[in-house]
Amino acid sequence: MIYELDPIEKELIRVASQKYDIQQSDIFKHGRGFQNYVYEYYIDENQYILRISKASTRSDKEILSELNFLNHLSQFDVSVSLPVKSLNGLLLEKITLGKDNYYAVTFEKASGTHITYPDYMNNQELFYRLGKLTGKLHKASKAFSGDLNDRISWTENYYLNKFTKFVPSEEVDKINSLRKQINEIEKIQKTSKNFGLIHGDINVGNFFVDDNHITLFDFDECQNSWYVEDIAIQLFYTVYVFCDDSIEERQKKATEFMQHFLKGYELEHDVEVEMLKLIPKFLILREMIVHVGMYKMWDLSTLTGWAQYYYRDSSKRIRDLTPIVEFDTEWCNY
């Protein structure tokens, strides 16, 4: 698909191409990012991703912390898409257009391709490998020496902070549920064993698969949170396609995913059953985050089919503070 560039994007690309020695004609729009401008380009036969963020969305300190974390993960054999330095030898380049500041970063494009959702849903080996990768990430996170304050806290998540902006004020029951859920999660104890930097948005759109080898990318939502949230997020995106007319099937798929995921995870990082029992709390939180995206990106008055049913079911779960699946002791029988 060809995406049109607006005048601001054209100027951003012009300046960025000089900082990274790229031919402007070799840069094309990668897709419609939620918060960033994302492009792809080639140098010889190598592919790269150019990401440009508004300074009002991410500070230079936050982005540099993300990039340092990526380099750290690579040293611990976590397969990630690594940042590339500019002609000036910088990981981050500042671009100023009028009164607005932007930050440009380039990454090596991960090898492989996206996996389709149907293929993902029927790939137990991939569940296992995702568990192993996530466990390795969390183990490496514990050894990260960077200042955690340079990255946002889970409460500063963009979508949580935009909840009241995109969810209409008349949906006061949903807004009240959000506040209750945040207060509930804030009661969870934080220790060096259970809390640190997480990816924050692992789903089929944020990794490539190359002959069962997974490369993880898009750490823009990297945040300080409980490690178990990274697990809950992946579980949510595995089962949210099942509407409430398939609750039994949804719970069965959750068990299948968790059993294979945890089998891989425990090879790299301790599995704490008491933390797994908290997954339903983070499932509710993730549903709230996804809800904001629905209000932002969808015309809710024209929904049909699955989207219509999902919005209906999701709204009820949020109002009732009900997780999309409940914790099941069978998850741990792997």
CA distances from 146 to 61, 68, 75, 83, 199 (A): 11, 8, 14, 17, 15
24 pLDDT above the threshold of 80: yes
Tens-digit pLDDT profile for residues 96-128: 999 999 999 999 999 999 999 999 999 999 999
Tens-digit pLDDT profile for residues 46-79: 899 999 999 988 999 999 999 999 999 999 999 9
The pLDDT, as a whole number, for residue 1 is: 53
Lowest average pLDDT, out of 23-32, 163-172, 185-194, 226-235, goes to 23-32
Domains of the chain, first to last: 7-108 (3.30.200.20), 117-332 (3.90.1200.10)
CA angle 261, 121, 278 (to 5 degrees): 40
- d(C-alpha 103, C-alpha 107), whole Å: 13
Q: What is the mean pLDDT of residues 189-217?
A: 96
Rounded to the nearest integer, the mean pLDDT of the chain is 94
Q: Which of 138, 130, 147 is nearest to 257 (CA)?
A: 130
Tens-digit pLDDT profile for residues 243-296: 999 999 999 999 999 999 999 999 999 999 999 999 999 999 999 999 999 998
How large a percentage of the chain has pLDDT more than 90? Answer: 86
31 pLDDT above the threshold of 70: no
The pLDDT, as a whole number, for residue 35 is: 77
Q: Which of 165, 161, 178 is nearest to 319 (CA)?
A: 178
Tens-digit pLDDT profile for residues 125-174: 999 999 999 999 999 999 998 887 899 999 999 899 999 999 999 999 99
- d(C-alpha 116, C-alpha 103), whole Å: 31
pTM (predicted TM-score): 0.95
The pLDDT, as a whole number, for residue 2 is: 55
* Residue 168: exposure state from Cβ atoms within 10 A (0-12, 13-18, ≥19): exposed
How large a percentage of the chain has pLDDT more than 70? Answer: 98
CA distances from 30 to 11, 38, 61, 196, 241 (A): 17, 6, 25, 31, 26
Single-letter amino acid, residue 37: Y
Q: Which residues contact 309 (CB under 8 A, 6 or more apart)?
A: 243, 244, 245
